[in-house]
Homo-oligomer: A and B are copies of this chain.
Amino acid sequence: MNKVTMKDIAEMAGVSKATVSMVLNKKDASISDITRNNILKIAKEMFYIPNSIARSLSTKKSGTIGIILPDITNPFFSEMARAVEDEAESLEYNLMICNTDNDIHKEEKYIQLLISKLIDGIIFMSGGKSNENITLLKKNNVPFVLVDRYIDGYKDYYGVFSLNNQGVRNGVRYLYEKGKRKIAFVKGSENLEISTQRLEGYTDEMKNYGLYDEKYIFEGDFNVEGGILATQKIISTFNNLDAIFYSNDMMALGGMKVLLRNGYKIPRDISVVGFDNIQMSSVTEPELTTISQPIYIMGKKACSILIDVINGEIPDDKQIYYETNLIIRGTV
């Protein structure tokens, strides 16, 4: 049997499609109760499901937003996506998820796809130098909100971020107050603003204490493997470190594994600090001391800003910078 359309309902009810459309879309101020109820009843009986593709073509809106992120398998991003989806759902939008693997070409491909689907707006977690892709978005009048990751030259666009620099400074200060002096730092290797900001936080605070030494800086990808590799290098270079500060939790998890495996007791022999406060950070034993970003809140906020913009409303703030928090747990 074929899908039932407004035409079917109209015929059944002896009215026009226009009337059916108005009733079903609650633009029925002027429709008589009797025909309204009749139409509603018939629609229900026939299990009518509106064809939102047809609707989109006519309204030029899809009721869908997209989220562009490096990898949904990474807890930071899946938690963010989940937050965005929760907010989108409550505002009656739905979400299309695109994994870019930090590949600028995949990113572009997906943006084209989203545009071709008449996407209403995009939550954008960039994989690096996305300037051209942003231009594509602007050229097509697609609203977007940057989350977590800044993009050069778009600092004044809608965005939701954390105060990375301050977060790392607080972490370093905490370590200092706990008597740690030899503090290594694993920076992110990708060409990202957040890597730089976190590194600067470390550098500034260490200099502040007269503790800065370039040799304490290592590098790794923002994932477990990155933490593993960097830590192997670290422990083969130093054997008297007080602490290691990782640029994110996934790295720190990888790092802890290497440390434990090599006989280090955490925090007795060495302290560890991460960044993000993903759910997994409280699952390890000992639990990871980390700098939290309000991931869920950031995701919801980004989504609500986006939807404001879509609806032509002006959000209170163009950029929001969230404070981070030092989450004291068991690794320091």
Contact = CB atoms under 8 A, between A and B. Distances in A.
Contact of A75 (B49, B73, B257): B73
A96 B65 CA distance: 11
A112 interface: yes
List the number of copies, as a whole number: 2
Question: Is chain A's interface secondary structure helix, strand, loop, or mixed overall?
Answer: helix
A283 interface: yes
Interface in A48-106: 49-54, 56-57, 62, 64, 71-73, 75, 78-79, 81-82, 85-86, 94-99
Interface residues of A, number: 48
B49 A53 contact: no
Interface stretch (A113-121, A160-168, A199-207, A234-242): A113-121
A72 B62 contact: no
* Interface-central residue, A51, A98, A253, by most chain B CB under 10 Å: A51
Contacts of A97: 72, 81, 85, 95-97
Nearest to A99: B85
Contacts of A64: 117
B285 A261 contact: yes
Nearest to A266: B285
Interface in A245-301: 253-254, 256-257, 260-261, 279-280, 283-285
Contacts of A208: none
Nearest to A111: B49
Contacts of A256: 285
Shortest 8 CB-CB contacts between residues of A and residues of B: A260-B285, A52-B116, A257-B285, A78-B78, A73-B82, A97-B97, A53-B56, A53-B118
